[in-house]
Amino acid sequence: MPAEPFGTTADGRSVSRHTLSRGSLRVAVIEYGAAVTAIEVPDRAGHPANVVLGLGTLAGYETVSPSFGAIVGRYANRIAGGRFSLDGHGYRLPVNEAPNTLHGGPENFGRRLWRAELSDAARLVLVRRSPDGEEGFPGNLDVRVTYSLPEDGVLRVDYAAVTDRPTILNLTNHSYFNLAGEGTGSVLDHLVQVEADAFAPTDATQIPTGALLPVAGTPFDFRTPRALEARIRAGDPQLTYAKGYDHTFALRGAAGTLRPAASCVDPGSGRRLDVWTTQPALQLYSGNNLDGRLIGPSGRIYRSGDGVCFETQGFPDAPNQPGFPSAVLRPGETFAAATEFRFSVV
């Protein structure tokens, strides 16, 4: 399907929406934030529905979107105190979740206009240059994100980036899933499994302590499928800090290899999502900060727990955490990662 207009930014730039289609899967992506605005898949009876949260207008994505479907960066997740050091140089970043920097700052990649380099029925390539100093980060960074539908039921996201100065990088797609259908209410009955034996506990500001703790015996044990609601109200300080799940899991297997990361099933509709990735970690977020002030394309409000994110990524605050895998990208290197969202029914 050819691109169609999706409005004009506040500073007068046109934005297009691209729709990819293969078999029963349809995916809509806008150039603003490289954001996925809809993923349409059938339930066990064959009835299609959009299974990601979003907003009905470009103005909503510009002003109030909590990164719905967006590619966030230059550094997804949190950086402590809005500062880091690299090769003996200190860098200051804008603080947008006091006292920390979240997703690269208030004008992160999810708030930028990307350029469509290629668009056809089953593939969309979006690119942008993040200039040296943007949101405080060093180096001109050229980023390419490819959305593709390699087969029916599979949405693949490929990331690639190069820099002309040493910098730090952490990219993810920030889609909020509701497998019962956008706007249908809580996802806390969804059954979730995460392929991880350890998670990263945080302090009260949600910055990792640097430890990786076993999930066994904690509310973070998703080694077998469990409903999100089963232990989300357990009296664990970690759940108090985040108002639910908003934690990093260290995925099993070697980073750089495409392997299972998580799965999610909506018992009512029978829709199933399997997440595969080459990334080392996954942030499980239960939509805790949705507070009823946003209205989706369905015309229904979004409240806490109405969407769940499976953010495949590197580790948060890695530049300040020597025990975590490095997030440094240097000239001559290419950052490359891939994630697949595989939809089916049970």
Q: Is 164 annotated among the ligand-binding residues? A: no
Contact between 202 and 194 under an 8 Å Cβ cutoff? The reply is no
Bridge partners for 263 per DSSP:
193, 274
The answer to the question of whether 77 is labelled as a binding residue is yes
**62 membership: H or E segment, kind and range:** helix 58-63
Is residue 194 within 8 A of residue 170, CB to CB? The reply is no
Q: What mean pLDDT do residues 201-214 have? A: 98
pLDDT tens column, 242-267 = 999 999 999 999 999 999 999 999 99
DSSP β-bridge partners for residue 127:
115, 144
**Residue 276's closest CA among 344, 211, 210?**
344
DSSP 8-state symbol, 46: S
Buried b (16+ CB within 10 A) or exposed e, 69-97: bbbbbbbbbbbbbbbbebeeeebebebbe
Confidence (pLDDT) at 2: 72
What would the pLDDT profile of 331-342 be if each residue is shown by its tens digit? 999 999 999 999
Helix (H, G, I), strand (E, B) or coil at 343: strand
289 is written with which tokens?
Answer: 């900060």
Cβ pair 47, 173 in contact under 8 A: no
Residue 312, strand partner residues: 282
Helices (H) then strands (E): counts for the chain = 2, 30
Among the listed residues 31, 40, 195, 311, the single catalytic one is 311
- β-strand partners of 79: 101
Q: Is 289 annotated as a binding residue?
A: no
The answer to whether 176 and 287 are in contact (CB under 8 A) is: yes
The amino acid present at 99, given as its one-letter code, is P
3-state helix, strand, coil in the chain (%, to 5): 10, 45, 45
Please tell me the distance from the alpha carbon of residue 261 to that of residue 112, in angstroms, as a whole number: 28
Tell me whether residue 311 is one of the annotated catalytic residues: yes
Using pLDDT thresholds of 50, 70 and 90, give the confidence band for residue 1. Answer: low
> Would you say the C-alpha torsion 35, 324, 339, 295 has a positive or negative sign?
negative
State how far the alpha carbon of 73 is from the alpha carbons of 65, 172, 195, 280, in Å: 15, 7, 24, 16
Question: Would you mind telling me the total number of residues written for the chain in this entry?
Answer: 346
Q: Which two structure tokens, joined as six digits, stand for 335?
A: 């950052």
Mean pLDDT of 162-178: 98
Distance CA 127, CA 280 (A): 24
**Section 90-118 average pLDDT:** 98
- pLDDT exceeds cutoff 70 at 53: yes
What is the model's pLDDT at position 154? 98
246 carries a ligand binding annotation: yes
Please state, in angstroms and rounded to a whole number, the distance separating the CA atoms of residues 331 and 162: 7
Residue 208 is given by DSSP the state B
State the CATH architecture for 4-345. Answer: Distorted Sandwich (2.70)
Sign of the alpha-carbon dihedral angle for 339, 64, 178, 8? negative
pLDDT at 44 > cutoff 70 = yes
Q: How far apart are the first and last CA of the chain?
A: 30
115-135 tens-digit pLDDT: 999 999 999 999 999 999 999
Catalytic residue among 18, 174, 190, 247: 174
* Mean model confidence pLDDT for the chain: 98
